[in-house]
Chain A
Amino acid sequence: MIQRTPYADAFTYGLMALGFLLLIGPFAVIVAAASQTMQQVNAVPFNFLPQNQLIANMTAAWTRADLGTAMLNSFVMASLVTIGKVALSALTAFSIVFFRTPLKHVFFWIVFITLMLPLEVRVVPTYAVAADLFEPIRLAIAWATGITVSVEWNLLNSYAGLTLPLVATATGTFLYRQFFLTLPDELAEAARMDGSGPARFFIDMLLPLSRTNMLALTTIMFVYGWNQYLWPLLMITDPAYKTTMMSLSSLVPHENALPDWNVTLAGALIIMLPPLLVVAVLQRWFVRGLVSSEK
């Protein structure tokens, strides 16, 4: 619809500019502060112009918070969450959409319910499960024989523990399900006539066709996995498994300590970088995968 409405146009542009400032403002502060010295950062009024201390601050943050290990851990964790999620959701949606089973709707609703239970809500029971995986078996043995077996089996301080609870949610399943539902039935039937079984159909047809979906989900899940704070904080006590978000909190100056916010923010800049890169590379598919499917 094309209309000549100069005032409305001006208003929407104004609104847009305001929104842009709100979004970019904090980022500009981080960039400026991260490149200043401690004195400049604490000066009043705050100087929004970047200075020349960026590299020095970043190096300081890197060594102080041992960001090398943390970045690697976070990268492994985010990648595992992404891969696990993409694979699991594709398979779940495949079985929900393309197979006629009597309990199909029950399974679908079980998956659906997990949408309403994000990790933060179920963090205590999830921790209990992860901290003592052997418990159900122990209880079963105790109930059957009266013997209490003491076996240590938990997921604390491991990549499995970091990623598994984040993989088991429904968001990706839904994305795939909606996409699979748009595919015409004849596609599956034609593949059947051509002699391909379900696994073959999944690999030869569904995976290539859902590429944009997969990339959109990859973007979301990588950022989601990277930004996890609460769960790693609970699961990890061993510094070797520390993630970036935990390091970031350790970079925040304590009371009575030097207020070197410039180093903190330089660390934040480094930590922001990987998800930013992923989004920058994948954003083209991101929108396409969420909006619709190319036919």
Chain B
Amino acid sequence: MADITIRAVRKSYGKTATLHGIDLAFASGEFVVILGPSGCGKSTLLRMIAGLEDITGGEIEINGRVVNKLEPRERGCAMVFQNYALYPHMTVADNIGYALKVAGVPKAERRPRIAETARIVGLGDYLARKPAALSGGQRQRVAMARAIIREPGVFLFDEPLSNLDATLRVTMRAEIRKLHQRLSATSVFVTHDQVEAMTLADKLVVMNKGHVEQVGQPLDIYHRPASTFVASFIGAPPMNLIDCSIDAADAVARHEHLAIPVPPAIAAALGGRQVTLGIRPEECRVLPAGQGQPARVDFVEELGSGRIVHVAFGSRIFAAAIPPDIRLAPGDLIGLALPPAQLHVFHRETGKRLDVTHSAGRLGLGPENDRVNEQETGLRATEAV
């Protein structure tokens, strides 16, 4: 059990900066998932927590102790690597027990602990095997057992499931979650897979280009993405985005010939502004031609449980989830209804979310948008709802 505080942490290799001042705090026992596209710096951040990368600037604190200068072994972290990094010449038992051996735990004491740990991850019968004689999933378990046996305060996972096949990934995901509930150590899990992120996280950190885009509970992030990046990165298929200008008089957002109705509060607060509107595919409703906004079916993806129709909507391709009973063919003309309450509004240039506080009937922005708001609309910023 350990809490982690990351303060203004920066990383640069020579002159190229990869992390530009990260501030994060993870509570003890939390399951934190860091999500981001490849090259966003998420693995670097994890490796800095582990002590495998030097910290260029800022501080990392584990359990109230600044660990910048500490060796990995002194930080109380255990790590599971993407390619498992098992010791190929050692048996499963030796792999699991290596940390104890290094720590000088006598053999008689090691053996029962290895057996117990192997039992937890379901490897009891494989202790005498070499890693080469194990399947991918079993190797992953060995890697996890190797981390568990040290009873660390912090578990670090570096994309541990990306080398597994799809079925196994789902099983291992569930097992990691169960293991976390059982051991309740703080876990930091790095991934680029949004499904892993959504299912595992107590707290989700979305990163992009060395910055933290958003921190929060998975559902909050899904329902209230802080930027167009988060909106398009989370959700499959991603959120539909379309550039519009707000027409306050008609309470619509205009894009070419389209006029999308928006809530009056938004229209009033943002009249005349260039914005990006976003809507989740599952919130779009398909109507017969003539109703809603005109759209043309581009192609249909069959998912079994439902299907996704991709439609040409203005200059954009929109995805919409449709129930199985609606039959559509490419080229069909349909109407698309975008419920105003489900629309997300983003700043056109910065991509940041713009929120309207309904109670006060005025524009409210996230703290990071204060400046933009005051300069451009002259309205007073309030805390976002």
Interface residues of A (CB under 8 A from B): 184, 186-187, 189-196, 200, 204-205, 208-209, 295
Residues of the B chain whose Cβ atoms lie less than 8 Å from the Cβ of A200 = 102
In the complex, are the beta carbons of A193 and B78 less than 8 A apart?
Answer: yes
Residues of the B chain whose Cβ atoms lie less than 8 Å from the Cβ of A196 = 73, 98, 102
15 A-B residue pairs with CB within 8 Å:
A187-B85, A189-B52, A190-B87, A191-B87, A191-B98, A193-B79, A194-B99, A194-B150, A195-B99, A196-B102, A200-B102, A204-B98, A209-B88, A295-B88, A295-B132
Partner of B73, one of A186, A193, A208, A209: A193
In the complex, are the beta carbons of A193 and B87 less than 8 A apart?
Answer: no
Known contacts being A192-B52, A192-B73, A195-B73, is A186 close to B85, with CB within 8 Å? yes
B41-73: contact bitstring with A at CB < 8 Å (1 yes, 0 no)? 000000000111000000000000000000111
Residue of B nearest to A195 (CB): B73
What is the minimal beta-carbon distance from B47 to any residue of chain A, in angstroms?
8
Residue of A nearest to B88 (CB): A295
Verify if B146 is at the interface (C-beta below 8 Å from A): yes
Partner of A209, one of B89, B99, B102, B132: B89
Residues of the A chain whose Cβ atoms lie less than 8 Å from the Cβ of B83 = 184, 186
Chain A contact surface mostly: helix
Interface residues of B (CB under 8 A from A): 50-52, 71-73, 77-79, 81-89, 98-99, 102-103, 132, 146, 150
What is the minimal beta-carbon distance from A263 to any residue of chain B, in angstroms?
49
How long is the Cα–Cα vector from A190 to B86 in the complex, in angstroms? 8
What is the minimal beta-carbon distance from A188 to any residue of chain B, in angstroms?
9
How long is the Cα–Cα vector from A209 to B130 in the complex, in angstroms? 13
Residues of the B chain whose Cβ atoms lie less than 8 Å from the Cβ of A195 = 72-73, 99, 102-103
What is the minimal beta-carbon distance from A34 to any residue of chain B, in angstroms?
45
In the complex, are the beta carbons of B102 and A184 less than 8 A apart?
Answer: no
Residues of the A chain whose Cβ atoms lie less than 8 Å from the Cβ of B51 = 192
Other A-B contacts than A190-B79, A190-B81, 18 sampled, CB-CB below 8 A, are A186-B82, A189-B52, A189-B81, A190-B86, A190-B87, A190-B146, A191-B98, A193-B50, A193-B52, A193-B79, A193-B99, A194-B150, A195-B103, A196-B98, A200-B102, A204-B98, A209-B89, A295-B132
The list of the 6 closest CB pairs from A to B, nearest first, reads: A186-B85, A195-B73, A190-B85, A194-B99, A195-B102, A208-B89
How long is the Cα–Cα vector from A57 to B52 in the complex, in angstroms? 66
What is the minimal beta-carbon distance from B297 to any residue of chain A, in angstroms?
47
Residues of the B chain whose Cβ atoms lie less than 8 Å from the Cβ of A205 = 87, 89
How long is the Cα–Cα vector from A205 to B85 in the complex, in angstroms? 12
How long is the Cα–Cα vector from A293 to B150 in the complex, in angstroms? 31
Residues of the A chain whose Cβ atoms lie less than 8 Å from the Cβ of B73 = 192-196
Residues of the A chain whose Cβ atoms lie less than 8 Å from the Cβ of B89 = 205, 208-209
How long is the Cα–Cα vector from A187 to B82 in the complex, in angstroms? 11
Residue of A nearest to B74 (CB): A195
What is the minimal beta-carbon distance from B185 to any residue of chain A, in angstroms?
14
In the complex, are the beta carbons of B132 and A193 less than 8 A apart?
Answer: no
In the complex, are the beta carbons of A186 and B81 less than 8 A apart?
Answer: yes
Residues of the B chain whose Cβ atoms lie less than 8 Å from the Cβ of A186 = 81-85
Residues of the B chain whose Cβ atoms lie less than 8 Å from the Cβ of A192 = 51-52, 71-73
Residue of A nearest to B47 (CB): A189
How long is the Cα–Cα vector from A273 to B166 in the complex, in angstroms? 58
Residues of the A chain whose Cβ atoms lie less than 8 Å from the Cβ of B85 = 184, 186-187, 189-190
How long is the Cα–Cα vector from A205 to B87 in the complex, in angstroms? 7
What is the minimal beta-carbon distance from A85 to any residue of chain B, in angstroms?
23
In the complex, are the beta carbons of B81 and A194 less than 8 A apart?
Answer: no
Residues of the A chain whose Cβ atoms lie less than 8 Å from the Cβ of B82 = 186
How long is the Cα–Cα vector from A32 to B265 in the complex, in angstroms? 108
How long is the Cα–Cα vector from A190 to B81 in the complex, in angstroms? 8
Known contacts being A186-B81, A186-B83, A187-B87, is A193 close to B72, with CB within 8 Å? yes
Residues of the B chain whose Cβ atoms lie less than 8 Å from the Cβ of A190 = 79, 81, 85-87, 146
How long is the Cα–Cα vector from A217 to B368 in the complex, in angstroms? 63
